[in-house]
Amino acid sequence: MGGRGYEQQHVDGAGHADTMRRGCLAFIAVCTMNALASTEAHAHAAPREGTVRAGDERMAIAPTARHEGPRDARHDVHVTVSRVVLEQGTLYWRVRCFADDLTLAMRGVSGDSAFAFSTVPSAEDDSLFMRYFRSQVQVDADGARKTPRLLERGTEQDEAGGPVRWYVLAFPVPAPTRALRIRHALLFDVFRDQQNLVTLLDAASGKRQPLYFTAGNDVPQVVTR
């Protein structure tokens, strides 16, 4: 039978997968930066109680009481923003959160009241974050729990809210999956007014779905394909 040999096809397939992965990471990086910037700007402009409407990232959030912990925070909004892309067997999840908020959570998980993130990549920090993330965020694909792995992480400065930490994770999700059940309780154990915004993109269909999770209403949400 004609055509290229198995070895060449395998190399080309691996290259395509890597290109696709990098494309997904770039997409969720850009979307997340834009969304959190928009969220924070609106929150500071109109600090009143409110909700997120389907398909709309705008928010109105009431100022909150101060929490014991790092004092360099300049934000009064407790929110995380995630961009999630389902692409050929993998659910890529990029989450951004304020560094001081996450530090408080890490202190609780580690039992170390003086915990602070290392200024350079740290396997210990990564392990601690993953332990916390897995306890607070769960993804079930057609009823089967999926375990995430860490792909990338970093920090950046947000003009409105101070230092931000971001993480990119990957969940294995079989291609035939018809329903995803998602629980996102990140920082619910730290702040009573925590809000977690998620936008899920199904790359195959182009369908986008906004999800909204709030502390005090820790209920998983189901997304059907």
Helix (H) or strand (E) run with residue 123 in it: helix 123-136
Q: Domain coordinates of the chain in residue numbers?
A: 6-224
6 vs 11: CA distance, rounded Å? 9
Measured CA distances, 209 to 73, 132, 190, 212 (Å): 31, 25, 27, 10
Name the strands in the sheet holding 221-224, side by side, starting at the edge strand that comes first in the sequence. 144-146, 137-141, 179-184, 221-224
For position 214, what pLDDT does the model report? 97
* Max intra-chain CA distance, the chain: 71
For position 21, what pLDDT does the model report? 52
Residue (of 75, 101, 85) closest to 166 by Cα position: 101
Q: Left (φ > 0), alpha (ψ -120 to 50) or beta: where does 148 sit? A: beta
For position 175, what pLDDT does the model report? 86
Token digits for 5? Answer: 């040999």
Buried b vs exposed e over 182-201: b needs ≥16 C-beta within 10 Å?
Answer: bebbbbbbbbebbbbbbbbb
For position 160, what pLDDT does the model report? 73
Helix (H) or strand (E) run with residue 124 in it: helix 123-136
Residue (of 138, 141, 163, 165) closest to 71 by Cα position: 163
Amino acid at 214: T
For position 193, what pLDDT does the model report? 95
Measured CA distances, 47 to 33, 91, 187 (Å): 21, 34, 20
How many Cβ atoms from other residues are within 10 Å of residue 68's Cβ? 8
139 vs 143: CA distance, rounded Å? 9
Measured between alpha carbons, how far apart are the two ends of the chain, in Å? 38
Tens digit of each residue's pLDDT, the chain (225 residues): 444 443 444 334 445 445 445 555 544 444 444 444 444 443 333 333 333 333 333 332 223 333 333 444 467 889 999 999 999 999 999 999 999 999 999 999 999 999 999 999 999 999 999 999 999 999 999 999 999 999 999 999 887 768 999 999 999 999 889 999 999 999 999 999 999 999 999 999 999 999 999 998 999 999 998
